[in-house]
Amino acid sequence: MNSRPPNKNSEIRSTIDAIQSWLLGPEVQFAEGPHRGGVAGWFDEGGAPVFLYPEIAGYYLSWLAYFASISGEVEQAARRAELTLSWIDRLLSDGTGLQTRIYLRGVPPDDWRNCGAFLFDLAMLARGVAQVWNLADGNRRQRIHSRLTEQLLLFCRDSEPLQAFRPYPDAPSPPPHWSCVEGPYQAKAAAAILSANEAARMPSRLQEAARSSYMKWREHPRSNSTEDLHPMYYHLEGLAIAWADGWDPEALSLLENAAMGNLMTRTPETMTSGRSDVIAQALRIGSILWDRCNQCDPTSNPVHQLAYLLQQYLDGGGAILFCRNPSLRHRNVWSSIFAHQALLYYEAAIAGLPLGDRQLQFLV
Residue 118: give its domain's CATH number.
Answer: 1.50.10.20
Band of the pLDDT at 36, cuts 50, 70, 90? Answer: very high
In a domain, 5, yes or no: yes
- Residue pair 122/98 in contact (Cβ under 8 Å)? The answer is yes
Put residue 5 in one of left, alpha, beta given phi > 0 → left and psi -120 to 50 → alpha.
beta
Domain that holds residue 213: 35-217
CB distance 268 to 299 below 8 Å: no
Segment 256-274, tens digit of pLDDT = 888 876 666 666 666 677 8
Per-residue pLDDT at 224 exceeds 70: no
- Say if 226 falls within a structural domain: no
Q: Collect all residues with Cβ–Cβ distance below 8 Å to 251 and sequence separation of at least 6.
A: 218, 239, 240, 242, 243
Q: What is the mean pLDDT of the chain?
A: 90
Same domain, 174 and 273: no
Q: Do 174 and 316 have their domain in common?
A: no
286 and 327 fall within a common domain: yes
Provide the domain count of the chain: 2
Is 154 within the bounds of a domain? yes
Greater pLDDT, 263 or 280: 280
Query: Residues 179-201: pLDDT tens digits?
Result: 999 999 999 999 999 999 877 78
53 assigned to some structural domain:
yes
Query: What's residue 4's pLDDT?
Result: 52
State the pLDDT at residue 258: 85
Query: What pLDDT does residue 295 have?
Result: 60
> Hey, what's the torsion of the CAs at 98, 76, 133, 347, to 10 degrees?
100
What residues are paired with 293 via a beta bridge? none
Examine the domain organization and report whether 275 and 341 are in the same domain: yes
Q: Which segment, 18-22, 132-136, 159-163, 301-305, is predicted with the most confidence on average?
A: 18-22
202 and 302 assigned to the same domain: no
pLDDT at 294: 67
Among candidate residues 165, 190, 217, the one where a domain is terminated: 217
Does 311 lie in the same domain as 182?
Answer: no
Write down the pTM of the prediction.
Answer: 0.94
Listed residues 165, 194, 217: the one ending a domain = 217
| Nearest by Cα to 152 from 143, 163, 137, 168 | 163
Q: What is the pLDDT of residue 71?
A: 94
Same domain, yes or no: 145 and 273? no
State whether 16 and 70 are in the same domain: no
Distance (Å, rounded) from C-alpha 26 to C-alpha 31?
7
CA atoms within 13 A on the CB side of 304: 17
Whether 6 maps to a domain, the answer reads: yes
pLDDT at 226 over 60: no
Residues 54 and 150 in one domain: yes
Higher pLDDT, 338 or 355: 338
Confirm whether 291 is domain-assigned.
Answer: yes
Choose among 124, 136, 133, 191: nearest CA to 337. 124
pLDDT for 1: 37
**Residues 279, 306: contact at Cβ < 8 Å?**
yes
| Same domain membership, residue 261 and residue 200 | no
Q: Tell me the sheet residues that pair with 102.
A: 52
In this structure, the answer to whether residues 53 and 21 fall within a common structural domain is no
Q: Flag whether 134 is in a domain.
A: yes
Q: Is the pLDDT of residue 124 over 90?
A: yes
Mean per-residue pLDDT, 40-47: 93
Regarding whether 48 and 22 lie in a shared domain, the answer is no
Looking at the domain assignment, is residue 241 inside a domain? no
For position 301, what pLDDT does the model report? 65
What per-residue confidence (pLDDT) applies to 249? 94
